[in-house]
Amino acid sequence: MPTSSRSEVEPFHPAPTAWKGGDMAADDNWIFRLGPDQLAELEAAVADVRARGLSILEIRREDFPLPNLGPALAGLRDELVDGRGFTLIRGLPVAAWGREASAVAYWGMGRHLGEPITQNPLGHMLGHVKDIGADADDVEKRGYQSSDTLPFHTDVSGDFVALLCFKPAKRGGASSIVSSLAVHNEILARRPDLARVLAEPFYWDRRGEVPEGLEPYYPLPVFNYHDRHLNVAYLRRFAMSAQRFDAVPRLSVAQLEAMDLVDEIANSPEFRLDMEFRQGDIQVLNNHIILHARTEYEDFEEPAEKRHLMRLWLNCEAGWPLPDAFYHRYGAPVGKGRPRGVHVPGTVPTAPIDVA
């Protein structure tokens, strides 16, 4: 494990990946606005796959041609991998198109960015961020199934995390993101001792999503230095709930102090970017270099009006090399392709357009 001295880590986080929120807020060139011609391409592609009778899972990139939008999405993919690590695609007319057509268009665009993977034991490859009455602190549930505040974190799998806002909340549910590489730089400047702590394994709770033959927890550092890159994995609630297992080492005072510092920096106005999230917006993040958060929200009473985000986890073959620990996380063969999503006994891929 490399140490966290400044000379060793500087090559891992050059600009523009290590940005600060104030700089991003001053220039909205990270917003990509869909124009009339691009929307017409999407409509034509959706109509074509419907005419051919393809289900969402059957739609490959070659089944969803986008002659002009496709190259633009390829440019956004490059920006996600080697640039600022996020984008916001604005203007998908989900209210006019409805849930099914919107889901097909979203999936087709996702196919131009990467390869969808499973997100939960049910095999959802098209996932749904929606309050179904869960408690974010319940070890058998997930925060995205609740209306609770979600502190800064990375998702448990996927190179990219994409969210399509199909229905916004009545109140709240604001999105914030932060460059985890900028957070790393600040920790390195303030407390290099804690940067070293974060480069050592933490233990994370699988919360019931246990691949065959593996433990219900796994070790993974927050700061993962590999092949001259820095990949960050952080989900504090899962580190805390992993303490329920007797075999997991107790969190040290230094580890708790290090996580406190991650949270402090990520939440500071200097570092975070608060993002307006409108109906029809698609937020795409590089899960290895961006942390994201959400405020608590209040929903509408009518079931059809409840806040609803469609989620994709995407792997990208052009993504940065990943250390072995990312493959072990979900039982994928080390170094073969990209780490797969959630696979437990009985998982069968599916793509529902809503969730109960």
Q: Report the pLDDT value the prediction gives residue 113, as an integer from 0 to 100.
A: 98
Q: What is the pLDDT of residue 14?
A: 64
Q: 330 with 216: CB under 8 angstroms?
A: no
How many Å apart are CA 131 and CA 125, to the nearest integer? 18
Q: Are 81 and 144 in contact (CB under 8 A)?
A: no
Residue 67: predicted pLDDT: 97
Cα end-to-end span (Å), the chain: 44
For residues 233 and 291, give the distance between their C-alpha atoms in angstroms, rounded to a whole number.
Answer: 9
Angstrom distance (rounded) from CA 141 to CA 151:
16
What is the CATH classification number for the domain harbouring 205?
Answer: 3.60.130.10
85: amino acid identity, one letter: G
Angstrom CA distances, 355 to 122, 295, 303, 304, stand at 11, 22, 12, 12
Find the domain containing 203 and state its range: 6-13+20-328
Q: Give a yes or no: residue 256 inside a domain.
A: yes
Q: How far is residue 343 from each of residues 138, 171, 180, measured CA to CA in Å?
A: 21, 35, 27
Asked whether residue 255 is domain-assigned, the answer is yes
Q: Supply the Cα-derived Rg of the chain in whole angstroms.
A: 20
Residue 349 falls inside a structural domain? no
Are 120 and 199 in contact by the 8 Å Cβ rule? The answer is: no
In the DSSP assignment, the letter for residue 19 is -
Coil vs helix vs strand at 345: coil
Nearest of 128, 165, 132 to residue 284 by alpha carbon: 165
Q: Residue 131 and residue 355: Cα distance in Å, rounded?
A: 10
pLDDT at position 7: 36
Confidence (pLDDT) at 224: 95
With respect to residue 297, please indicate whether it lies within any of the assigned structural domains: yes
Is residue 353 a part of any domain in this protein? no
Residue 341 within any structural domain of the chain: no
Q: Give the total number of structural domains in the chain.
A: 1
Residue-wise pLDDT for 20-31, tens only, equals 999 999 999 999
pLDDT for position 331: 82
140-161 pLDDT tens trace: 656 666 778 899 999 999 999 9
| pLDDT lower than 70: segments of the chain | 1-14, 132-145, 356
Q: Is residue 54 part of a domain?
A: yes
User: How much is the pLDDT for 140?
Assistant: 66
- Residue 57, in any domain of the structure: yes
Tell me the sheet residues that pair with 202: 220
